[in-house]
Amino acid sequence: MAVLVYTENTEGKFKKSAFEAVTYARAIADALNTSLSAAAIGDASDEELGKLAKYGAKKILKISDAQFKNYSVQGYASAITQAAQKENADVVVMLASFGGRGIAPRLAVKLKAGLAEGAVELPKIVGNFIVRKTAYSGKAFADVEIVSAKKIITLIPNSYKVEEKPETAAIENLSPSINNDDFKMTVKETVRSTSKVSLPDAEIVVSGGRGLKGPENWGMIEQLAEILGAATACSKPVSDAHWRPHSEHVGQTGITIGPNVYIAIGISGAIQHLAGVSSSKVIVVINKDPEAPFFKAADYGIVGDAFDVVPKLIEAAKAFKAGQN
């Protein structure tokens, strides 16, 4: 019996969310009185892999065969299955990232494991094994009981705090058996935006709505975001009008986020929008309409015109950051 965490890397580097997954998986291993192994696929150096030990992995399986250079959902699912079997893992943890969301269901079928997708806190494991996740697009929580012996959990990024618990871990190479049918998909092109903070893992998000009147006014949103180290987002009407790309649309039919701070500027707060952001830890609303429904869901509010408030906020943020350094 063991717990296995699959840690995703981007071009050989782990992001903070990978360490969240390791911390989370280690807490489960502790509760089950067993040890934690981590599996990583791709080019991460031994030094980078060693970081996983800092958060509690006692063993690190390195899968770096040439076939795995590019993401293949079937190939990766197959490799992680073999890692889970090698470790005799009863619980497999990975992030509910774009990659993890594709892999976990396939892993569940391969391992005949129950899957709880999108966990927001540690499972309750006394008696039954129950995992809490958001449902109805953030309007509710569902407690999912996994009734099978083998269990898979995907963890929402930003929902579990990273905590160090250094271990000395051995790095072992794992060379999974390969089925060529798993590599039918070819990657033609990878496009990564380099400088910007990625929206799903951002700790702070600055978001704009129709109240900003047009795409030409997004400069101040981007500037505020840059000073705060935040990602930018928008409401549905904004992406529908092509003021901003669809990938920035948060809400029921866009993406769901749970940053530490969500700053909504010129967004009235329709129920579909709230569904995408309600798991944010702190919500700040800036709107000139004191009756905007978003104020009812906010922790802090400023009633005022975005075109007056945001430039002042930018100046204040510059001063604040200067004071911190």
Residues 141-180 touching other proteins, rule: CB under 8 A, are 141-148
Q: Is 289 in the site for other proteins (CB under 8 A)?
A: no
Burial of 214 per CB tally in 10 Å (0-12, 13-18, 19+): exposed
Closest distance between other proteins and the C-beta of residue 299, in Å? 6
How would you classify the pairing of strands 2-7 and 282-287?
A: unpaired
Kindly report the number of other CB atoms within 10 A of residue 166's CB atom: 9
Using the contact rule CB under 8 A, the part of the chain among 31-39, 50-58, 61-69, 101-109 near other proteins is: 101-109
Q: Which of 232, 225, 291, 237 is nearest to 257 (CA)?
A: 232
Candidates 50, 99, 215, 293: give the one binding other proteins (CB under 8 A): 99
Cα 151 to Cα 105, 109, 118, 121, 230: the distances in Å are 11, 11, 13, 15, 34
For helices 219-228 and 306-324, the axis angle rounded to 10 degrees is 20
Q: Which is nearer to other proteins, 173 or 190 (CB)?
A: 190
Candidates 115, 169, 264, 265: give the one binding other proteins (CB under 8 A): 115
Candidates 13, 214, 246, 289: give the one binding other proteins (CB under 8 A): 246
For residues 116-135, which are near other proteins according to CB under 8 A?
A: 116-118, 128, 130, 133-135
Q: Is 293 in the site for other proteins (CB under 8 A)?
A: no
Candidates 249, 250, 257, 258: give the one binding other proteins (CB under 8 A): 249
Cα 287 to Cα 132, 234, 263: the distances in Å are 33, 14, 11
Using the contact rule CB under 8 A, the part of the chain among 24-32, 36-44, 83-91, 196-204 near other proteins is: 196-204
Q: Residues 57-96 vs other proteins: string with x where CB under 8 A?
A: --------------x-xx--x-------------------
For residues 197-226, which are near other proteins according to CB under 8 A?
A: 198, 200-201, 203-204
Ramachandran quadrant class, 43 (left: phi over 0; alpha: psi -120 to 50; beta: rest): alpha
Q: Which of 194, 197, 15, 192 is nearest to 95 (CA)?
A: 15
d(CA 273, CA 296): 13
| 270 within 8 A of 293, measured Cβ to Cβ | yes
For residues 16-45, which are near other proteins according to CB under 8 A?
A: none
d(CA 128, CA 138): 24
Q: Which is nearer to other proteins, 37 or 154 (CB)?
A: 154
Closest distance between other proteins and the C-beta of residue 214, in Å? 21
Q: Which is nearer to other proteins, 1 or 316 (CB)?
A: 316
Closest distance between other proteins and the C-beta of residue 15, in Å? 7
Closest distance between other proteins and the C-beta of residue 289, in Å? 13
Q: Is 114 in the site for other proteins (CB under 8 A)?
A: yes
* 314, 319, 321, 324 alpha-carbon torsion, rounded to 10°: -160
Q: Which is nearer to other proteins, 70 or 175 (CB)?
A: 70
- Span between the terminal Cα atoms of the chain, in Å: 47
Look at the alpha carbons of 38, 18, 116, 65 in this order and tell me if their dihedral is positive or negative. Answer: negative
Q: Which is nearer to other proteins, 46 or 189 (CB)?
A: 189
